[in-house]
Amino acid sequence: MGTIRGGAPRARLAIYKVAWSGINGTKISNIDVLAAIDDAIKDGVDIISISIGGGVINIADIDEDKLFGIGSFHAISYGISFIASGGNSGPDSYTVGATSPWVISVASSNSDREIVTPLTLGNNKTILAAGLIKGMQQAFAPLVTFANITCNQDPIIKYGQAKILEGKETYIKVPQFSSRGPNSFAPEILKNLSKYYRSSNFRILTPGVNILAAYPSHLGGDNGFKLMSGTSMAAPHVAEIVALLKAAHPDWSPAAIRSALTTTAWNEDTYETEIYAEGTGGKLANPFDFGGGICNPNGAADPGIVCPKEVPSRLDMNLPSISIPNLKDSVTIKRTVTNVGNVNSIYKLVVKPPRNVDIKVTPNVLKFNAKTKKISFKVKITSTYQRSGKFTFGSLAWKDGKRFFRIPIAVRKQVDE
């Protein structure tokens, strides 16, 4: 495999134990997790990444409202970014965990990379097979197959060192296990690309399928590593990216970082193929599946504008997303953005309204200069549908010719019977 390193190799790690082995499986409690968060705050960490939540653990004495609400809010108030796995309870709706608006909850996707091992057959032909083998063996090993057992007395094979292949073998998918929105507690909060708030969904989408992860050797791992899948594998990818963003922009608040990740995310892969959702009959994925979209680290490092909010209040969270679960007539929502790009910038509006929804934004052009660094805009959302229906999805984006700032929108018409 060569040298293995993390996404932020110069970061210093502080590890806090919160899980314990029990007779019936893993045991995790609110007390241990909240104590670990408090210890991390006292130790002066910049980022907290936590890969536990719905569907992740066998036995849990956990109240996620307290864990991801109170604990994460405490961390955010100290300027600490809080990343959490979204859960592995998909593909059913209302299963996403860690949905507090100030948490970066992460959904899982597949990847276009495979870890393979070259297999050399007895006739000196070499084929590539999926697998993770340390290799370096010179001798052949016995190989028996149902097709050759009667005609080959001693079929043999030897394997080489594993390699990573890159290429377009498949489109990006949200795997079936990845939890989905909307938010079961507060559907009006649309959290991310792969995560929305306890409310909606995710904030961002990163690879979480067949990830080469550190693993305790005494639990059956091979030399401390194992291929694993789950949103617990996806969340650390975002933690790495957040570390790089904080290094590049030490003055950014956790809210600015969340905004940069959500609003610059891709809604299609690098091959311009749309994202699909497994377990849903082959339908295209939507913000309840992936939040803002596929994480775009380079875009997040230079987003142009962000939705800042140092410590959110219940009346004004200034979220980089809009979710309206019960639209009756029309509603007007305000968002405030701050310029973190070129001093003199002009952003023009591009709207993709949800089906049967009319959207009007004022102003429709944002002009920043040395004196004007913050601008508020209003979004009026009106349903053109006369009956109650399902959620439909769209977006509004601000573009300056180089950058884009996209806010995902989810709307459901509600008619009183």
pTM across the whole model? 0.79
- CA–CA separation, 186 vs 201, rounded Å? 10
Integer CA distances (angstroms), 405 to 151, 176, 219, 267, 341, in order: 64, 29, 44, 12, 12
Pick out the chain residues at pLDDT < 70.
1-2, 23-25, 53-68, 90, 92-95, 112, 130-203, 217-223, 269-272, 282, 309-316, 388, 415-417
- HEC per residue, the chain: CCCCCCCCCCCCCCCCCCEEEECCEEEEEHHHHHHHHHHHHHHCCCEEEECCCCCCCCEEECCHHHHHHHHHHHHHCCCCEEEEECCCCCCCCCCCCCCCCCCEEEEEECCCEEEEEEEEECCCCEEEEECCCCCCCCCCEECCCCCCCCCCCCCEEEECCCEEEECCCCCCEECCCCCCCCCCCCCCCCCCCCECCCCCCECEEEECCCEEEECCHHHCCECCEEEECCHHHHHHHHHHHHHHHHHHCCCCCHHHHHHHHHHCCECECCCCCECEECCCCCCECCHHHHCCCECCHHHHHCCCEECCCCCCCCCCCCCCCEEEEEECCEEEEEEEEEECCCCCEEEEEEEECCCCEEEEEECCEEEECCCCCEEEEEEEEEECCCCCCCCEEEEEEEECCCCEEEEEEEEEECCCC
Domain spanning 322-413 has what CATH number? 2.60.40.2310
- CA–CA separation, 258 vs 245, rounded Å? 10
pLDDT given at position 254: 93
Give me the residue label for tokens 């701050």: 338
In this structure, the number of other CB atoms found within 10 A of the CB of residue 57 comes to: 16
pLDDT given at position 102: 85
Q: Are the C-beta atoms of residues 192 and 100 closer than 8 Å to each other? A: no
pLDDT given at position 295: 87
pLDDT, tens digit (0-9, with 9 covering 90-100), for 254-292: 999 999 999 999 887 666 677 777 777 767 778 888 888
- CA–CA separation, 234 vs 106, rounded Å? 7
19-111+171-301: CATH superfamily: Peptidase S8/S53 domain (3.40.50.200)
pLDDT given at position 139: 56
Give me the residue label for tokens 């140092």: 310
Domain borders along the chain are: 19-111+171-301, 113-166, 322-413
pLDDT given at position 196: 28
pLDDT, tens digit (0-9, with 9 covering 90-100), for 196-236: 222 344 467 777 777 777 777 666 555 677 788 888 888 88
